[in-house]
Structure 1
Amino acid sequence: MAEKYSMTFSENRSIPLFIFFKDIRLVLKLDELGLEIARIALPAALALTADPIASLVDTIFIGQIGPIELAAVGVSIALFNQVSRIAIFPLVSVTTSFVAEEDTCTKVSSDSESLENGSTLDSEDKIFEIAKMEQDKKHIPSASSALIIGGILGLIQALFLIFAAKPLLGFMGVKSDSQMLYPAQQYLKLRSLGAPAVLLSLAMQGVFRGLKDTKTPLYATVAGDLTNIVLDPIFMFVFKLGVRGAAISHVISQYLISLILFWRLKEQVDLIPPSLKYLQFGRFLRNGLLLLMRVIAVTFCVTLAASMAARLGSTQMAAFQVCLQVWLATSLLADGLAVAGQAILASAFARNDHSCAASTACRVLQLGLILGLVLAMILGFGLHFGARIFTKDVDVLHLIGVGIPFVAASQPINALAFVFDGVNFGASDFAYSAYSMVMVAILSIIVLFILSSTSGFVGIWIALTIYMSLRAFAGFWRIGTGTGPWEFLRG
């Protein structure tokens, strides 16, 4: 692959900014690079959007109960996601990059040994060696580390959310005299029981992504989310459990996903570590802490926005919940491209293949922009007609209509922001990703406070759009200036 792109890469390497326009006529071509991106990105995108779609289904069913329950669950989901992402995002991102690097190095080492030993083996011995290699499980330290860390973090998260539910909801704007408090507590405590399964399943998804296998997580996620969709109306309406039924069905689906992924992973990877040193916890913690700082900054803005919407009242929070779930579900389609970019780039940097790295970054960014434009057009028209699926409340529908232009117009910006994340993670540029996002968050929080107090619901969405624009600019700046791991672009 490196030879195919070396000529065009060398032509533009003196000005790093040109990488964004490199081979733009080939953006939709299904060449070797295009096919590899599609093979990884499409299943990853479908798997990533499956859970938000399941949450949308939850939202649709809960919306039939009433606007208070819809708003209460919206606050609980925002809180659960905030706490989950603090643990999940660093774990999954670090795991994907480390597994891709270790798998690439293992393959290179195996190929070298095969070439060295090839001349000394007769044909019968060669067949035996190949068969033995195919039967052996892969030895990838990061896979074992991810599962151990994921399980521990999941248990901590579950205990934290269950015992601190009321004060946390109070921080989110749900006061002790609010009608939202009781259903919000019920949903949050029950859904928290699934936290260990959520973190374990996503840690395993990080391993599969590093192995460039995004189909297995897709199949497991679809199986789990279909279970959730089937169980939702049964628990909620047949058993008359209301919001508790929605939480219970979600927890069951998460444990099913974890069991499927673990069963498939243990067939491919040796998960029993020979020693603690083998696990390389220090490497995980060092980079994980950087991304932990980043993810707190990233998600705090969205959680703060949800909190401010809740303070405006149940009607505003219900409308915000619907708009936010659609905003996140569609934006995560671009995260499939981010996963593909991260996996391919991590392998390219492990091989010191700068030509492949430049071509991959260029292609996924261009595809991200196209995807964002397509999503903007679809949502701009479709959400006006689809809003009644979520609720029949006239006031909530009116506010959803107010939020639609922001949800639609921000899609190209969101897509680029997500893809830039994957590109920087693939280059193991964790420090820049962390520090730049802290600066973005500080500016965004100031804007959010100002605009929410002056313009209410509209101000919150303007602030979120500015926040995503700053995220995209931070990624653009790193590559466009050819700094950090992208210095090779300057020649």
Structure 2
Amino acid sequence: MSLIRLRSAHDREILRLAVPAFGALIAEPVYLLADSAIVGHLGTPQLAALGLAGTALQTLVGVFVFLAYATTASVARHLGAGDRRSALAYGIDGLWLALGLGVLLALVGTLAAPAVVSAFGPSPQVHEFAVSYLRVAVLGMPALLLTFAGTGVLRGLQDTRTPLWIAGASYVGNVVLNVLFVYGLHLGIAGSALGTVLAQTAGAVALVVVVVRAARRYDAPLRPDLTGIRASAHAGVPLIVRTLTLRAALLVTAYVATSFGDVPLAAHQVAFTLWNTLAIALDAIAIAGQAIVGRYLGGSDVAGTRAATRRMMEWGVGAGVVFGAVVVLARPAYVPLFSADPAVQALLAQAVLVFACFEPVAGIVFVLDGVLIGAGDGKYLAYAGLVTLVAFLPLALLVYAAHAGLLALWWAFGGFMVARLATLAVRARGDAWLVTGTGAARR
């Protein structure tokens, strides 16, 4: 096969997996946007309570994204090895693990909701609304975690379209139920949480039905297997560490930005929202990388793994360059939309220039992160996450101590991304992660 044909084949595969994955990835932010639009008309305290409760939920849910990532790697490896039955058996193990963790989190979250809200120090009125929302919303944790695991199974089977359709249907249901419960039945902010939980549950059930049907088709066991569940949990521990290091870096960045005052904090919030939106788009390529690399290594195709990785890196850099250019050139159009304050607008326009410089770096980082997750290289990602966090903290603390301002903070965050690139690139250049067969994903 010629180089052009090989690239064309990789391009088609990347697009086939990445485009639907992007649509599914934005489902959760869209959920929150819909909730915000509906709850916002109830009053400012309710909207503030939703923001507080949503932050707590997103932080908690983000830790358990390993249920999607680890499951994708395991399933893709067995698919690549030609053993679809074992691939689906791994997927069923992941679903049982997600259900158990989800039920536990729902129970703990219901009891801990007042303490969690109090930790943010809100006003009494906001505290009451936030607890009301959170106590209902955490009941959706089993559905959310099942959605992670079910989506991971289908991604491992090289199917990102089904999660997209289910996520789209859940979004429509979420809007309808929210309007019905909040305004039709006058349940207030708790009605918004209930509508979201029901929509999430319906989506989770649909995903589980799809996976179970496939398991039955290939005679994969449906009963819980403690050995398999423990293996799934064990594979997820390093990915939890990796995720926590990323969350810690983002929390430190937000803390430092807060110390600069209201105007820098407002500009930072908008800049971070833009960065996070572009990160979702880049993460779609990373998800394609998880599925493709897992399948190639499961089939013992090292050359194919290398070729696909190189092509996805090119996609990552290209996407980063395009996103960076759009962020810079479109500033006059979008900056005034986020604030009427000239000071915020001026600072935001400068801050986005800094993070735009690092978009090509972010493109490679997201791709390599996805590639190594697909390879089952979670332990290295955990260690690399700790190293990059340790490298970033002195930069952030220096900016904080010197009160150097928002632009210096974003340059420091760019240094964090460069440190991630260095650790991931060193690993990708070597051969230690190129473990073939089905065993590595179980480690």
Pair in the same fold by TM > 0.5: yes
3-state DSSP class of the match of 1:352? coil
What RMSD, in angstroms, separates the aligned Cα atoms of the two structures? 3.6
Show the counterpart of 1:265.
Answer: 211
User: C-alpha separation between the residues in 1 aligned to 2:40 and 2:358?
Assistant: 25
| Candidates 364, 369, 376, aligned match of 2:312 | 364
* 2:428 is aligned with 1:479: yes
Q: Is the 8 A contact 2:294 2:375 kept in 1?
A: yes
3-state DSSP class of the match of 2:249? helix
Q: Is the 8 A contact 1:82 1:303 kept in 2?
A: no
Give 1:39 deviation, angstroms: 1.2
Q: Is the 8 A contact 1:64 1:391 kept in 2?
A: no
Give 1:355 deviation, angstroms: 1.1
| Candidates 28, 49, 52, aligned match of 1:51 | 28
Give 1:211 deviation, angstroms: 0.3
Give 1:183 deviation, angstroms: 4.6
Show the counterpart of 2:439.
Answer: none
Give the counterpart letter for 2:18 in structure 1.
A
Give 1:267 deviation, angstroms: 1.8
Give the counterpart letter for 2:306 in structure 1.
A
User: C-alpha separation between the residues in 1 aligned to 2:33 and 2:358?
Assistant: 19
Give 1:309 deviation, angstroms: 5.2
User: C-alpha separation between the residues in 2 aligned to 1:315 and 1:103?
Assistant: 51
Show the counterpart of 1:148.
Answer: 96
Q: Give per-residue Cα distances to partners, 1:291-328, cap 9 Å, x unaligned.
A: 12211112222234445556777776665554433322
User: C-alpha separation between the residues in 2 aligned to 1:282 and 1:486?
Assistant: 24
Give 1:155 deviation, angstroms: 2.0
| Candidates 231, 235, 239, aligned match of 1:291 | 239
Question: Which is greater in Rg?
Answer: 1
Give 1:400 deviation, angstroms: 5.1
Q: Give per-residue Cα distances to partners, 1:53-110, cap 9 Å, x unaligned.
A: 343444556667777766654443333222112222x221111111111223244xx9
Q: Give per-residue Cα distances to partners, 1:11-43, cap 9 Å, x unaligned.
A: xxxxxxxxxxxx6xx59x862222122211111
* 2:197 is aligned with 1:220: no
User: C-alpha separation between the residues in 1 aligned to 2:262 and 2:174?
Assistant: 26
| Candidates 461, 466, 469, aligned match of 2:418 | 469
Give the counterpart letter for 2:413 in structure 1.
L
Give the counterpart letter for 2:60 in structure 1.
V
Show the counterpart of 1:99.
Answer: 75
| Higher RCO by CA contacts (8 Å cutoff, separation 6 or greater) | 1
| Structure 1 stretches lacking a partner, 5+ long | 6-22, 111-136
| Candidates 72, 77, 80, aligned match of 2:57 | 80
Give the counterpart letter for 2:106 in structure 1.
A
User: C-alpha separation between the residues in 2 aligned to 1:422 and 1:348?
Assistant: 14
Q: Is the 8 A contact 2:388 2:420 kept in 1?
A: yes
State TM-score, norm by structure 1: 0.76
Q: Residues 412, 99 of structure 1: CA spacing in aligned structure 2 closer, same or farther, 3 A cutoff? A: same
Q: Residues 144, 245 of structure 1: CA spacing in aligned structure 2 closer, same or farther, 3 A cutoff? A: same
Worse overlay, 467-476 or 385-394: 385-394
Q: Residues 151, 402 of structure 1: CA spacing in aligned structure 2 closer, same or farther, 3 A cutoff? A: farther
Give 1:276 deviation, angstroms: 2.7
Q: Is the 8 A contact 1:236 1:245 kept in 2?
A: yes
Q: Is the 8 A contact 1:319 1:400 kept in 2?
A: yes
1:133-172 aligned at under 5 Å gives the runs 140-169=88-117, 171=119
Give 1:331 deviation, angstroms: 1.1
* 2:390 is aligned with 1:442: yes
Give 1:160 deviation, angstroms: 3.3
Show the counterpart of 1:251.
Answer: 197
User: C-alpha separation between the residues in 2 aligned to 1:178 and 1:451?
Assistant: 34
Identity across the alignment (%): 25
Q: Is the 8 A contact 1:47 1:217 kept in 2?
A: yes
Q: Residues 229, 338 of structure 1: CA spacing in aligned structure 2 closer, same or farther, 3 A cutoff? A: same
